[in-house]
Amino acid sequence: MNIRCIAIDDEPLAVKKIAGYIQKVPFLELVAECRSAAEAMTIMDSTDVQLLFIDINMPDISGMEFIKSLTNKPYIVFTTAYSEYAVEGFQVEAVDYLLKPITFTNFLKAANKVKNLMDLTSNSQQESIRANADYLFVKSDYKLIRIELDDIKYIESQHEYIKIHLVNDKPIMTMLSMKSIEENLPSDRFMRVHRSFIVNLSKISVVERSRIVFDGNVYIPVSDQYKVNFQRYIDKSFLV
């Protein structure tokens, strides 16, 4: 599985260089080249992005400010000409901090760091979930908790954690990726509709302007990446 990346830099030559490096690494997949944080945010709203290679000094909003604003952060590698931001970079949990001019050797080292972290997380998560046709067990607060699939309303991504929202109980937090939980849920009952949301199809009662409404005040967006599959389900399941 390739790591989906965005290269972000307001300098055209710099962003082209990073994009070229991404395309040279077999386990990286270039999603987009962006000249600003705002452009990157538009893409991230509709596409599952796992890694950002991002410059710090950019107009309007700096790379550092952009990362701090994110609720669900992907993996971060800063690319910059200024070493004084290094400590702050690691305080926002950046995997690496590359100083320009960036060589391909140093870029590859950073990419391998991210891959190793993702592999470790994936292996750990495989031990954090046990699924059955009607229920699953997840680890939460040092306990194994059984969750009936029919009790799940929707699942929300919280970076390295997910929050499982239940019908008649408080949400359960567990250290899992959306990919891991999605693979353990029956596809005829659950559907991913956004990079940050999976919904229980049987719990959907209201759809409003490309949003699924739960409890009258919770709005789950259906992003462009998943809209075709969701619309196919709507067309098949509802009278219109």
For residue 106, what pLDDT is reported?
96
Fold observed for domain 129-237: OB fold (Dihydrolipoamide Acetyltransferase, E2P) (2.40.50)
Q: What is the CATH number of domain 3-125?
A: 3.40.50.2300
Name residue 147's beta-bridge partners.
136
- Which pLDDT tens digit goes with each residue over 135-160? 888 888 767 889 999 999 999 988 67
Distance of CA 165 to the CA centre of its chain: 18
Specify the pairing of strand 218-221 against strand 28-34: unpaired
Sheet holding 96-99, edge to edge: 28-34, 3-8, 51-54, 75-80, 96-99
How many C-beta atoms surround the C-beta of residue 82 within 10 A?
Answer: 12
Among 104-108, 120-124, 214-218, name the one with the lowest average pLDDT: 120-124
Domain residue spans in the chain?
3-125, 129-237
- Which pLDDT tens digit goes with each residue over 32-58? 999 999 999 989 887 888 899 999 988
For residue 138, what pLDDT is reported?
86
Please tell me if the domain spanning 3-125 has the same topology as the one spanning 129-237.
no
For residue 22, what pLDDT is reported?
97
- Residue 191 pLDDT > 90: yes
